Amino acid sequence: MAHAFDCQARFSAWRKLWLYLAQSQKQMGVALITDKAIEQMKNNLFITDSDLREASKRGNASTREMIMLQTFYFSRAGGPYTAGQINYAVPFDFVSRNCHAILVREALDIFIPRLPQVMHSLRKFAVSHKSRPGIFHPCRQYTQISTFGRRAADWVLDLGRDLMMLERIRDDILLCGTQGTMVEMVDLAQVLGGDVRSCEKLDVLLCKNAGFKGCYDAKRISTGRYERDLTLETGGALAQLAFGISRTLTEMAFFKTKQMDSRSKLTIAELIGRANDLALRIAADWTHYVSSGLAVGPVVIQAMFVNVDNLISGFDHLIVEIDPSSIKPLAIEELPAIVTRKITQRMVEVGHPKEVVIRHLDQFSYQTLREHNNFAIPLSFFNKIRQTLFFEPIWGEIDEMYRSELDTSGCEKTVDAVCAPGGSLDQVFEKYEASVEKVKSYQAPDKGKEKPVESSSTGSDADDKVSVATAIRWTVPGVDAPATSDYQSDSGETMRCVGNNGVRQ
């Protein structure tokens, strides 16, 4: 992702545009374009290191000079067959106007498959813990009892909405076409042997060869504005994704306060801070970018792609690192606070004022805590309610309130409908099957299907079995690993953990 917008990617995108232009002109019947030239262009689409080093020496060259220089390099790589056929009969800003659309599309092609990988990890976690109750603190809502799988299913759906937005942006990207000023359009029409409508036909063929759905209407709206709008739309989607991950990490930090060790909590806090800093940085860049109107869109969008990709990588590692055996539900500890809300609501329905009910409950809560702290008397909050005549109308309903809150059958059905095989997410994972298979290759197998391998670490028993997922967990900073350990994956790849930092080689 860090190289998606660098000079090598930009110059290679120029060569792709020249190839698409030559193919379109060949289909339009331009006699100068030959099949041999198109074949040579296909064989030299990516700029070589020598040409890149030579071009880097001209760092102060203008865009027009750099385009002319790359035209010379491309013609030299293609041999005499491509001489005079590169950027033929179109203005020099043809590649500069269309390059940004190609770079953004290629960056999205790299970035979008990362989301199904994270969604698969969350999906597996949701199915495994769909019946495990826990306490949760949803945004702007009361504390609720749900299951870990139900909350993970919500996070998967949030990522699914962000995925759909990025897919829509990727599919709706348009090219700016070959049309420039009126004089340039007339010259191009003469080469094509027709009128101005032949230029529009050339744009249609250009978009078809490049894989775009159409061209931006350059006659009504400035193409320079479209590059800016594309950057703003893509950046807005990335900012929304970063905000969603930050919100998810905040919920994870709440319900794991007593369930994860300090290293995991530091990991969550670090990721939340990274997401919030990214949102502030995006806002600052956007303010400068919109107000100045400078051509800094490629620079801003590159930094955003890199930062959000790093954020997703850390989030994915955190999901893989979760140890199910360390999760202990907090529902029983926090259940009285939730049942108290039901008691208040039920007493109001009976006919008592809400303020009076809350005053009685506050008094019981104070007495219970004082007895517990001063005299070590066990907490008996609900026993006091059962002994008070004021709450007599609901004495027989308190146990049922407990049982109804601990009933997780509804959460299990929701998780099965969304995350289980045959659920609503199957269509997404079928589309990105190759990306999901990469995740399955390094995640731990299901219980009972684990394939342990021999551990060759010194100082340990030779009969110890360690899974591949354990070796990969040691790549997370802060997780202790043996001094030197080799592990062999199912595909035969050997991974080595060196030192306590767990650097995989």
152 pLDDT tier (thresholds 50, 70, 90): confident
494 pLDDT tier (thresholds 50, 70, 90): very low
Look at 36-40, 306-310, 369-373 and tell me which has the smallest mean pLDDT. 369-373
The residue type at 32: L
Q: What's the average model confidence in pLDDT over 399-421?
A: 78
Q: What pLDDT is attached to residue 487?
A: 34
Which of 264, 249, 326 lies closest to 477, judged by CA?
A: 264
Q: What's the average model confidence in pLDDT over 377-383?
A: 65
Q: Where are the domains of the chain?
A: 7-90+177-210, 444-504
Q: What's the average model confidence in pLDDT over 19-41?
A: 91
Q: What's the average model confidence in pLDDT over 50-65?
A: 78
Dump pLDDT digits (tens) for 154-187. Answer: 889 999 999 999 999 999 999 988 876 655 677 7
Which of 205, 216, 183, 202 lies closest to 97, judged by CA?
A: 216
Query: What percent of the chain shows pLDDT beyond 90?
Result: 14
Dump pLDDT digits (tens) for 208-220. Answer: 999 999 888 755 4
Q: What pLDDT is attached to residue 464?
A: 34
The pair of structure tokens assigned to 29 is: 């019947």
CA angle, residues 256, 417, 331, in degrees to nearest 5: 30
500 pLDDT tier (thresholds 50, 70, 90): very low
Q: What pLDDT is attached to residue 142?
A: 61
pLDDT at 265 over 50: no
Which CATH superfamily does the domain covering 7-90+177-210 fall into? Fumarase/aspartase (N-terminal domain) (1.10.275.10)
103 pLDDT tier (thresholds 50, 70, 90): very high
Which of 320, 244, 234, 306 lies closest to 275, judged by CA?
A: 244
Report the C-alpha gap between 153 and 76 in whole angstroms.
55
330 pLDDT tier (thresholds 50, 70, 90): low
Provide the mean pLDDT of the chain. Answer: 72
Q: What pLDDT is attached to residue 209?
A: 94
